[in-house]
Amino acid sequence: AKKEGNSSSSIIQGKYELGRLLGHGTFAKVYHARNLQSGTSVAIKVVGKEKVMKAGMTKQVAFFDLVALTFYMVKREIAVMKMVRHPNIVELHEVMASKSKIYIVMELVRGGELFNKIIHGRLREDAARLYFQQLISAIDFCHSRGVYHRDLKLENLLLDDHGNLKVTDFGLSAISGSCSNQDGLLHTTCGTPAYVAPEVIGSNGYDGAKSDLWSCGVILYVLLAGYLPFKDESIISLYRKINRGDFRCPPWFSPDARRLVTGLLDPNPKKRFTVPKVTDLAWFKKTAPRQSNER
Ligand code: ADP
Ligand code: MG
């Protein structure tokens, strides 16, 4: 049971009533909430300063650096989310702040994480294709606006009531221009190790669109295989495998799926499949049977 203060603190700025916990990440918790005026349900991501302080103490990172960094990240996340309105991207409603917390009010996505779909095993290619098509549609939309996600992984892909994909967690994304050098390449190492592209590990700078496509390759692999393409106990060996593109497709992948995954997980960003290349493939274009009441 969560103890998030007394009942008065579960009403946010007289406008929203906080409900149950939906999920959490490193610095944030996401709650179900209700708009008291309209009765509409929303999701509220709460970023607390005291959590940041605790992390700062245990990890011995300067507290003020962490607070500044978190605020900077939240501000960036808000800016990014306001720029993108797409059926497969979680919609941002508003942002509020109290003395101790920041509240990011967004569209409530009710179907949970896509991750839960593969807990009990891999997906059939038709099912995986549908999610992948929606993911590429969202990514393409963002990229054409100079927005890169940079932390694409199964945990950040949610499902709505109809089983449609919604990309969330723009906490690490960067807007082209504000975060890149003159060469137009991004220079911050971020993302989650198992999903991270080789050039992101290296320090030569990278193209946000290309590294997002790498992560899409990891996601598609996981959906079809039921496990990660790159895995290792040690982070050094993991990165070595990623750098070499050292993975194997399981025998049940169809030849076309194999070609697509291999094209996305090309360690050379120049040779890696681009969105037009992906959307032009027969595998991608195949229309899946309708899945409206399939769960
Ligand atoms: P963090 O930046 O800390 O990783 P996320 O934005 O990824 O936080 O949210 C953490 C978790 O909360 C998600 O993995 C998901 O389970 C849940 N969640 C996030 N946004 C929503 C939403 N709009 N609707 C429902 N659940 C959500
Ligand atoms: Mg997250």
The per-residue pLDDT string of the chain (295 residues; one tens digit each, 9 = 90 and over) reads 344 444 445 899 899 999 999 988 767 889 999 999 999 999 998 877 665 555 544 444 555 566 666 667 667 767 776 777 899 999 888 878 777 787 888 999 999 899 998 988 999 999 999 999 999 999 999 888 888 888 899 988 999 999 999 998 765 454 333 334 444 455 454 567 788 888 877 656 668 899 999 999 999 999 999 999 999 999 999 999 999 999 999 999 999 999 999 999 999 999 999 999 999 999 999 985 555 444 3
Beta strands at 101-107 and 147-148: parallel, antiparallel or unpaired: unpaired
Nearby residues of 226 by Cβ (< 8 Å), 6 or more positions away: 118, 121, 122
267 in Cβ contact with 217 (< 8 Å): no
pLDDT of residue 171: 52
Atom of ligand 1 nearest to the CA of 169: 6
pLDDT of residue 2: 41
Nearby residues of 11 by Cβ (< 8 Å), 6 or more positions away: 17, 18, 36
Nearest ligand, CA 46: 1
ipTM above 0.90, yes or no: yes
90 CA → ligand 2 middle, Å: 12
User: 189: phi > 0 → left, psi -120 to 50 → alpha, else beta; which?
Assistant: beta
Distance CA 200, CA 116 (A): 27
Pocket-forming residues, ligand 1, beta carbon under 6 Å:
22-28, 30, 43, 45, 90, 106-109, 113, 155-156, 158, 168-169, 171
Atom of ligand 1 nearest to the CA of 23: 12
244 in Cβ contact with 197 (< 8 Å): no
First to last CA, the chain: 29
> Looking at the chain, how many residues does it have?
295
Nearest ligand, CA 152: 2
Atom of ligand 1 nearest to the CA of 108: 24
- 271 annotated among ligand-binding-site residues: no
Residues with CB under 5 A from ligand 2 (ion): 25, 156, 169
pLDDT of residue 41: 97
Distance CA 92, CA 44 (A): 10
286 CA → ligand 1 middle, Å: 31
* Tokens 């940041």, residue located: 52
Which residue puts its alpha carbon closest to atom 6 of ligand 1? 169
